[in-house]
Amino acid sequence: MVLLSCTNCCFNGLQADGFGAKIGYCVEHRAVLHTAESLTCGRLFRRDLLLPEANAESELHQRTFSGEHIVQLRTKINARSTGHVDDDVSVLVRNASGKEVTDYGRLGTKIVSLSRLSMIPGARAELARLSLSRTYVRRCVDQGGLWTSGIHQLSWTIDRLLEPPDIGIDDLRDDAPVPQSRQRELAQWSIVMLRLAFLSDVGHLAPDSDDVAALRELPEAAASAVDEVDFGALMKWVMQEGWPAAVDAFPRDRYEELARALHHDRDAPASESDHIRSNEAAKRRPKPAKVPVRRRKRGN
């Protein structure tokens, strides 16, 4: 995988290293990526890095590449002029995940697309949801919002930590010289690490004093505990260490408490339908009260 290419960018939720769709899609430029591995732009948000490193890399990347256009990585030639980028989404929308990604943000609220992706089975939908969730929460905070903009995606991700990613043969897109069983295991590893990376992102965006900040170190803890790319060993660590730590940092009752505070609906259960609101409706509501903060225990 070319680390500085669109294949490794969270704004392209359809492709990752070795699996996903044959054609990518950039939600920033609303562009179809025919050769994502050879393309890039200044808005690159590297999927393989945790938030602090991804932000630092993005700043460096912007010094070399403009964020206004997708270009060839090696020559910096506008990719539209060479036919490697266009607007024809007809192939992508045939797939449920592809349709949601190409519609992302078009309806005026991105949380609707993320919610729909969470209900589509399979690794492609999860790849898209996790990648776009990372961009969603980061941007909300960059624009003056709080880390709690990601509580729904955070809860959905914790709920799925113990589920092995469902990778089908059709999800593998590289003709790699390794058995398909190994390719599938590598793809599963990538999805689980992406789950942990999203949890880590939210932890970095939360205050140091909040329990959620404990999520910051999960990916590095997993990598340290599992010496090599062994999916079985990784899932064993998630079951014994990762999932209990995530639940402790963000238990269900905290999620429901925050959801009620954010939506001014303390008498109703925090169901998924309650969480989805249009931007226009949000604008009509009064500014929410300060979000309850659960303090981290000293010594943690």
Cβ-based neighbours of 61, under 8 Å, separated by 6 or more: 4, 40, 42, 44
**Contact at 8 Å (CB) between 120 and 132?**
no
Residue 275 DSSP symbol: H
Query: What backbone phi and psi angles, to 5 degrees, belong to 297?
Result: -75, 145
Question: Each residue of 142-189: pLDDT tens digit?
Answer: 999 999 999 999 999 999 999 999 998 889 987 667 888 999 999 999
Please report the pLDDT score of residue 44 as a whole number. 98
Q: Which of 292, 290, 199, 189 has its CA nearest to residue 248?
A: 199
Give the pLDDT mean for 1-10: 93
**Which one has a higher pLDDT value, 296 or 43?**
43
What residue segments make up the domains of the chain, in order of their start?
6-254
**Which one has a higher pLDDT value, 300 or 20?**
20
Is residue 284 very low, low, confident or very high in pLDDT (cuts 50, 70, 90)?
very low
H/E run at residue 24:
strand 24-26
Residue 7 predicted with pLDDT over 50: yes
Cβ-based neighbours of 183, under 8 Å, separated by 6 or more: 18, 19, 172, 174, 176
Question: Each residue of 64-85: pLDDT tens digit?
Answer: 999 999 999 999 999 999 999 9
Please work out, in degrees rounded to the nearest 5, the angle formed at the alpha carbon of residue 202 by the alpha carbons of 200 and 207: 110
Residue 114 predicted with pLDDT over 70: yes
Please report the pLDDT score of residue 286 as a whole number. 37
Cβ-based neighbours of 295, under 8 Å, separated by 6 or more: 209, 210, 211
Please report the pLDDT score of residue 17 as a whole number. 84
